[in-house]
Amino acid sequence: MRHLDGIYTQRFNRSHRRDGPLLRGRYKAILIDAEEYFLSVVRYIHQNPVQAGVVSDMDRYRWSSHRGYLYKSERPEWLNTDSVLSRFRRLREYQEFMHSESEKEVVDFYKGAYQRPVLGDSGFIEWVKEKLGERARVE
């Protein structure tokens, strides 16, 4: 990931005559309890441009996959929307959920100075520890 980020950043900076990093911090993979937090994390990610003050409406932000969920015509081939949209009966329900307020627990998780590598309740964390054994770094 670091190599890919470096190459992309160099090319982007050259073509846009700018300098400096594009991404904040290092890449971090986070294990998420999908049953509990999957949709909440998707919503948090799609709301990021609004929270950062980049746009006032996430539906209008062209650099997010959110528009691909709303409009088939804007869905790239590689974007699989089934895992998200199958959890809603209608597209309108998805849109209402995405525009509702993010859970405080998810916001706090991502805003914290130290980000745990696992997002889940105590039962999920214990399950991860059991599966990974001594290799588990979950706290």
> Which domain range does residue 73 map to?
33-135
Residue 93 has pLDDT above 90, yes or no: yes
Tokens 């059991």 -> residue: 130
Judge if 44 and 6 occupy the same domain.
Answer: no
Give 44's DSSP letter: H
Rounded-to-integer distance, Cα 77 and Cα 73, Å: 10
Rounded-to-integer distance, Cα 131 and Cα 30, Å: 16
Judge if 15 and 47 occupy the same domain.
Answer: no
Residue 136 has pLDDT above 80, yes or no: no
Count CB-CB contacts under 10 A for residue 55.
14
Judge if 115 and 51 occupy the same domain.
Answer: yes
Judge if 25 and 51 occupy the same domain.
Answer: no
Judge if 45 and 101 occupy the same domain.
Answer: yes
Judge if 67 and 107 occupy the same domain.
Answer: yes
Judge if 7 and 72 occupy the same domain.
Answer: no
Burial class (CB in 10 A: 0-12, 13-18, 19+), 59: middle
Judge if 16 and 57 occupy the same domain.
Answer: no
Per-residue confidence at 118, pLDDT binned at 50, 70, 90? Answer: confident
Count how many domains the chain has.
2
Judge if 105 and 53 occupy the same domain.
Answer: yes
Q: What is the pLDDT of residue 2?
A: 67
**Single-letter amino acid code for the residue at 89:** R
Prediction pTM value: 0.73
Judge if 12 and 75 occupy the same domain.
Answer: no
Token readout for 37 is 């937090």
Per-residue confidence at 134, pLDDT binned at 50, 70, 90? Answer: low
Judge if 20 and 41 occupy the same domain.
Answer: no
